[in-house]
């Protein structure tokens, strides 16, 4: 694909991100190598890798939408539906399970009033049960967006929720 084919008229992205993508696809010997970073940047801006994001990124790279969807389905960091402002990932893998990970998940469900992969009606929290997040030595562990919380008890988790509620201005 020639460089002049990088731009997409009627892009769904901000002018800044569209310009970044125009450049990004020229940086790799194979345009497809830009796929993961483009999906992550797009997700940060749009809130999810939805149908419109998939369509435009497929067009920009010159692959099919199915190719893009296959990659999205492989990476747990990518999601097709919007998460809450704070995405709470509760590990229930072996170390955390042995130290109360399942009980922590049940507590989070009850506290937030939502189930796994659901979002609170106010959009502040979403909840997801996940595999090991690499904090096994400090189990049970929970990741909220990019922050880790470990050695948790239900009381500590309540304080974590309260802290995020305050950040969202909803306390
Ligand atoms: S098992 Fe929970 S962080 Fe590794």
Which bin fits 89, alpha (ψ -120 to 50), beta or left (φ > 0)? Answer: beta
Whether the upstream peptide bond of residue 140 has omega within 30° of 0, thus cis, is yes
Residue 42 near residue 17, CB atoms below 8 Å: yes
Residue 3 — very low, low, confident or very high, per pLDDT cuts 50/70/90? very low
Helix/strand/coil for 147: strand
The model's confidence at residue 8, banded by pLDDT at 50, 70 and 90, is confident
Mean pLDDT of 29-57: 96
What residues are paired with 129 via a beta bridge?
Answer: 90
What pLDDT digit, counting tens, does each position of 150-170 carry? 999 999 999 999 999 999 986
How far does the centroid of ligand 1 lie from the alpha carbon of residue 37, in Å? 26
Most ligand 1 atoms within 8 A of CB, residue of 100, 136, 152 to mutate: 136
Which of 4-13, 72-81, 110-119 has the highest average model confidence (pLDDT)? 110-119
**Ligand 1 contacts CB of residue 97 (under 6 A):** no
- Cβ of 92 below 6 Å from ligand 1: no
pLDDT tens, 68-77? Answer: 999 999 987 8
What's the average model confidence in pLDDT over 102-107? 98
Cα of 58 vs centre of ligand 1, distance in Å, is 35
Q: Would you say 128 and 88 are in contact if contact means Cβ atoms under 8 Å apart?
A: yes
Q: Which domains does the chain have, with CATH numbers?
A: 3-74 (no CATH), 86-167 (3.40.30.10)
pTM of the model: 0.73
What is the structure's pLDDT at 76? 79
What percent of the chain clears pLDDT 90, i.e. is strictly above it? 87
**pLDDT of 108 above 90:** yes
13 token code pair: 């992205």
Task: Specify the pLDDT at position 100.
Answer: 97
């Amino acid at each position: 694909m020639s460089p002049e084919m990088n731009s997409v008229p009627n892009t769904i992205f901000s002018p800044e991100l569209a310009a970044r993508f125009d450049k990004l696809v020229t940086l790799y010997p194979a345009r497809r190598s830009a796929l993961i970073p483009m999906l992550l940047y797009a997700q940060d801006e749009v809130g999810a890798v939805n149908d419109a994001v998939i369509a435009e990124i497929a067009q920009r790279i010159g692959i099919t939408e199915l190719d893009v969807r296959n990659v999205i389905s492989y990476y747990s960091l990518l999601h097709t539906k919007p998460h809450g402002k704070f995405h709470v990932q509760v590990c229930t893998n072996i170390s955390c399970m042995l130290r109360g990970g399942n009980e922590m998940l049940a507590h989070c469900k009850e506290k937030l009033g939502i189930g796994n992969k659901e979002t609170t009606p106010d959009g502040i929290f979403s909840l997801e049960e996940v595999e090991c997040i690499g904090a096994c030595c400090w189990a049970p562990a929970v990741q909220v967006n990019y922050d880790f919380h470990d050695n948790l008890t239900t009381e500590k988790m309540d304080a974590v929720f309260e802290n995020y509620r305050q950040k969202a201005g909803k306390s």
